[in-house]
Chain A
Amino acid sequence: MSGDDTTFVRETLAPARKAPVVTTGLVGFLRTRLFNSPFNIALTLVSAVLAWLVLEPTVRFLFVDAVWTGTDRNACLASNAGHPVGACWPFIQAKFTQLIYGFYPEDQRWRANLTFALGALLLAPLLVPRLPGKILNAGLFFIAFPFVAFFLLRGGGLNGFAFYWLVELFGVAWKPSLTRFWLDFSLTAAFGMALMILLGGGWRNGRRAGIVTALTFAGIALVIETLHLDQGGLPVVDTRQWGGLLVTLVVSITGIVASMPIGIALALGRTSQIPLLRIFSVAFIEFWRGVPLITVLFFATYMLPLFLPGDFTIDALVRVLVGIALFAGAYNAEVIRGGLLAIPRGQREAANALGLSYWKTTGLIVLPQALRHVIPALVNSFIALFKDTTLVLIVAIFDLLGQLRAAFADPTWATPTTLFTGFAFTGIIYWVGCFAMSRYSLFVERRLNAHRRT
């Protein structure tokens, strides 16, 4: 700087700046998120009014004005209660067993309860990623549990195993007896073990598979002994007597369990190199995905019996289950295919280079990774399935919603608020189920993407 001095030095302190607007704490929150501009203030006010209009009557209906005790509709009439009546909870108390079990015989209800408990006991550890023994657990839940549940819920026993079926197939009468039953069982077990050892690659490599098979058969024997399946089992409860939440759970869990193998097979078919298989899978998937579930249920109810030999009848519930399994299988196939496509090619190539066959590559390398990838999407499709089970009421199967509808017809409980009460109760059950599953799906997704988080 030469000559004239242009430097400037402030001689007085600059005046203190105004304190910045608080952006933390309650006040800051109000200022930044609710009342920061005239438009936002208007939005806040409108939203607040809206929220009040929704929440206030809901709380009032469910709790404040609700009637809690009573034996029939008189308790839920405004003239008797002395105040405007909200929810009529005695209605739910009176219909509770119907909503949960349908017309399942009262003295047999412990079987349904036991099935619920067993299912919960097997499912809970499966959902916690940290717990060990996932394969055993999944096997028990997805394969063993459906069979046990079938014999628990429906009842009835077994006449025999593989040899019995073979004999039946050739039309020879089989006189069931205990000795024959257990002989057949041991022979089937021995045969199964031998087959597994052989398929596993001889004694040296297949020993493990053989032991697993033996243990499986030991488990089967245990179940047979406890339920006395060899002596006719529990008394048969016809599926027409099932209803309510029981049917909802049976349909959704069977749908989930049965749609998985169908989905995996179709997904593999669609990604397969073999043209015929691929074309078939694409056509199959697109067909089921292109039609509404109701048409599928009607198809299963009215057309499936036509496709079977005349003397062969299947239970109405089973027909519906077949339809739902095929429908859900097609949707699962697309989800699983997404997972298969997400696995880098190198994985398959590396497995090939190690000399693994197609099935070993797929079963040991590709599928486990692909399935892990798509757990969240699968859970989402299970949510859709769970919601879709309500459609069975259209083909006269009384699931939770169907039972609710039937309960509305009861004149002993006809009050102005009965309908809303019933919808509130079932709505809470459905909502909790779906919401829990969607949160679980989010949880798994976050876990799977943990390495990507920034």
Chain B
Amino acid sequence: MRVLSGGTGWKGIVGQLAFAGLLAWLVSDIVINARANLQAQHIASGFGFLSGTAGFSVNQALIRYSEADTYLRVFEVGLLNTLLVSIIGIVFATLIGFAVALGRLSPNWLLARLSEGYVEIIRNLPLLFQLLFWYLAVLAALPNPRQSLSVFGLAFLNNRGFVVPHVVPEQGASVFVVAILAAIAASLAMTVYARRRLYKSGERLRVWPLALVLLAGLPLLSTILFGAPVSLDFPALRGFNFAGGTRVTPELVALAIALSTYTAAFIAEIVRGGLLAVPKGQMEAGASLGLSRPAILRLVIIPQAMRLILPPLTNQYLNLTKNSSLAVAIGYPDLFSVFAGTALSQTGQAVEIIAMTMAVYLAISLVTSALMNLYGWHLDRSQRA
């Protein structure tokens, strides 16, 4: 009773009932209206449309896709494209963000001002503005394929996109992957063993030369025994365009650049804040214990800063994933663009399609937040212990 009423007695219960009634009335009203409107427009509700033929092409698909495929397939293609650009964006945003943060904290005045300028300019311009800038102004101003900007003759940048060598898996590929995984596993095991040994006996084992030999040697061995894992198909100029190689569309390039540079500005501020928040005494304490400067950073400062950095950092990753839906403005075939854009305008199933699209983003957000909460709970526990 007390829990139900929130400790406010009958007044609370009555208030809640009234609120629930209002909500129920609103929802039923919406449902009735929507049903009537859909009927008036002769749109069948339900998810039956998903098995219908899409009939439009998508200019970038990670899985096999043709115009004869269903809307469900379109959904999958779009989802994979969203994940692709998000992952590329997250990797580059993290790299640029950490670099800019270190630049801003650098004792070098010029570098610090430059990094600050980067953050202040990028952070105060709308993302869509930057996206259109990269796509319409910068990438479109690149030369045509015949005058491509060449990157060491291996990859080519032009106004039709970025052409890179195509990686073709060969016979030895599976063995090669196994070799790499085995090397990584063995190195990790050795590191763990060395740390245990250090904590137990205070004896420091040097692991990294052995790990390096393993990491380089095992794949090399597999290559020698089973042949090269991949062969590269180099792009070559034929006529007016490139033959061979893989073409990364200009849309993907523009979206990846805009998302990673924009998010990097926010990540830089988060990382800087986290590093500055570790009290100066921690560094001095580390120094008085005789740790070297890199060791202080690695063992004392970064673990404490990470604790502050990680939650907002994850938030930025989520923002980046959500912002990747801006792809619709330049026609990159992400989930939103092909599904809530093209598929919606073709089928008119606004309710189902927007609900599905929202559900995907919502699921990504909620799962990530749940993991973050779990991490926070774990931190709390380990701090108390």
A273 touches B6 (CB 8 A): yes
Q: A309 touching B124 by the CB < 8 A rule?
A: no
Residue of B nearest to A422 (CB): B137
Residues of B contacting A293 with CB < 8 Å? 322
Q: Which B residues lie within 8 Å of A416 (CB)? A: 141
Contact A306–B351 (Cβ < 8 Å): yes
Classify chain B's interface size: 35 or more
Residues in A with CB closer than 8 Å to B323 are: 292
Hey, which chain A residues are within 8 Å of B37, CB to CB? 305-306, 310
- Docked pose: A29 CA to B108 CA in angstroms: 10
Instruction: Determine whether A174 belongs to the interface, using a CB cutoff of 8 Å to chain B.
Output: no
Question: How far apart sit A307 and B37, CA to CA, in the bound complex (Å)?
Answer: 8
| A150 interfacial contact with B, CB 8 Å | no
B329 contacts the other chain (CB 8 A): yes
Contact with B along A289-319 (1 / 0, CB 8 A): 1111111001100110111111000000000
- A262-B378 Cα distance, complex, nearest whole Å: 34
Q: Is the CB of B38 within 8 A of A280?
A: no
A430 at interface (Cβ–Cβ under 8 A)?
yes
Closest to B107 in A: A33
Which of B12, B36, B121 interacts with A310 by CB under 8 Å? Answer: B36
Indicate if the CB atoms of A47 and B128 lie closer than 8 Å. no
For A388, the chain B residues whose CB sits under 8 A away are 126
- Chain A residues near B16 (CB-CB < 8 A): 274-277
Chain B residues, CB < 8 A from A435: 120, 124
**Contact B109 A34, beta carbon cutoff 8 Å:** yes
- Cβ of A137 within 8 Å of any chain B Cβ, yes or no, is no
Interfacial residues of chain B within 1-48, with CB under 8 A of chain A in the complex:
3-8, 12, 15-16, 19-20, 23, 30, 33-34, 36-38, 40
Chain A residues with Cβ below 8 Å from B109 are 29, 33-34
Task: Tell me which residues across on chain B come within 8 A of A383, comparing CB atoms.
Answer: 124
Whether B365 pairs with A308 at a CB distance below 8 angstroms is no
A348 at the interface (CB under 8 A from B): no
In contact, B136 and A47 (Cβ under 8 angstroms): no
B40–A310 CB distance below 8 A:
yes
**B309-365 CB contacts (< 8 Å) to partner A:** 322-323, 325-326, 328-329, 336, 340, 344, 350-351, 354, 357-358, 361-362, 365
- Judge whether A405 is part of the interface by a CB distance below 8 angstroms: yes
> Which of B7, B128, B326, B362 has the most chain A CB atoms inside 10 A of its CB?
B128
Docked pose: A40 CA to B126 CA in angstroms: 34
**Contacts A34-B109, A401-B126 given: A394-B328 contact, CB under 8 Å?**
yes
The answer to whether B362 and A290 touch across the interface, beta carbons within 8 angstroms, is yes
Asked whether A393 and B111 contact (CB < 8 A) given A294-B336, A303-B351, the answer is no
> What are the residues of chain B within 8 A of A280 when measuring CB–CB?
19, 23
Contact indicator A401/B132 (Cβ below 8 Å): yes
Q: Across the interface, name the chain B residue whose C-beta is closest to A289.
A: B365
B110 to A430, Cβ gap below 8 A? Answer: no
Q: Compute how far the CA of A50 lies from the CA of B8 in the bound complex, rounded to whole angstroms.
A: 64
Q: Which residues of A contact B38 (CB under 8 A)?
A: 306
CA gap between A420 and B137 in the complex, in Å: 6
For residue B229, give the distance in angstroms from its CB to the closest CB of chain A: 37
Is the pair A34, B110 in contact by a Cβ cutoff of 8 Å?
Answer: yes
Closest B residue, CB atoms, query A33: B109
* B-facing residues in A20-38 (Cβ within 8 Å): 29, 33-34, 36
Contacts A275-B3, A287-B362 given; does A306 touch B111 at CB 8 Å: no
Chain A residue contacts of B361, Cβ below 8 A = 290-292, 295
Distance to closest chain A CB from B238 (angstroms): 28
| Contact yes or no, A430 B126, CB < 8 A | yes
At the interface, yes or no: B216 with Cβ under 8 Å from chain A? Answer: no
CA distance A291 to B114 in the complex (A): 34
Tell yes or no: A391 within 8 A of B by CB.
Answer: yes
Q: How long is the Cα–Cα vector from A34 to B322 in the complex, in angstroms?
A: 40
B354 and A298 contact, CB distance less than 8 A: yes
CA–CA, A286 and B36, complex, Å: 30
Chain B residues with CB below 8 A from A352, complex form: none
With a cutoff of 8 Å between Cβ atoms, the chain B residues found around residue A274 in the complex are 5-6, 8, 12, 15-16
Chain A residues whose C-beta falls within 8 Å of the C-beta of B240 in the assembled complex: none
Task: Please give me the residue from chain B that is nearest to A45 by CB atom.
Answer: B110
* Residues in chain B near residue A292, CB distance under 8 A: 322-323, 325, 336, 361
B199 at the interface (CB under 8 A from A): no
B106 in the interface (beta carbon within 8 A): yes
A48 at the interface (CB under 8 A from B): yes
Is A419 on the interface with B (CB-CB < 8 A)? yes
Measuring CB to CB, which residues of chain B are less than 8 angstroms from any residue of chain A? 3-8, 12, 15-16, 19-20, 23, 30, 33-34, 36-38, 40, 106-111, 114, 120-121, 123-129, 132-133, 136-137, 140-141, 322-323, 325-326, 328-329, 336, 340, 344, 350-351, 354, 357-358, 361-362, 365-366
9 further A-B contacts with Cβ under 8 Å, apart from A47-B111, A290-B366, A383-B124, are A43-B108, A43-B110, A273-B7, A276-B16, A291-B362, A293-B322, A294-B326, A298-B340, A303-B350
Residues of A within 8 A of B (CB): 29, 33-34, 36, 40, 43-44, 47-48, 50-51, 272-278, 280, 286-287, 289-295, 298-299, 302-303, 305-310, 383, 387-391, 393-394, 401, 405, 408, 416, 419-420, 423, 426-427, 430-431, 434-435, 438
What are 17 A-to-B residue pairs whose CB atoms are below 8 Å? A43-B110, A47-B111, A272-B6, A277-B19, A278-B6, A280-B23, A286-B365, A291-B365, A292-B325, A295-B325, A299-B358, A302-B344, A303-B350, A389-B126, A394-B326, A419-B141, A426-B129
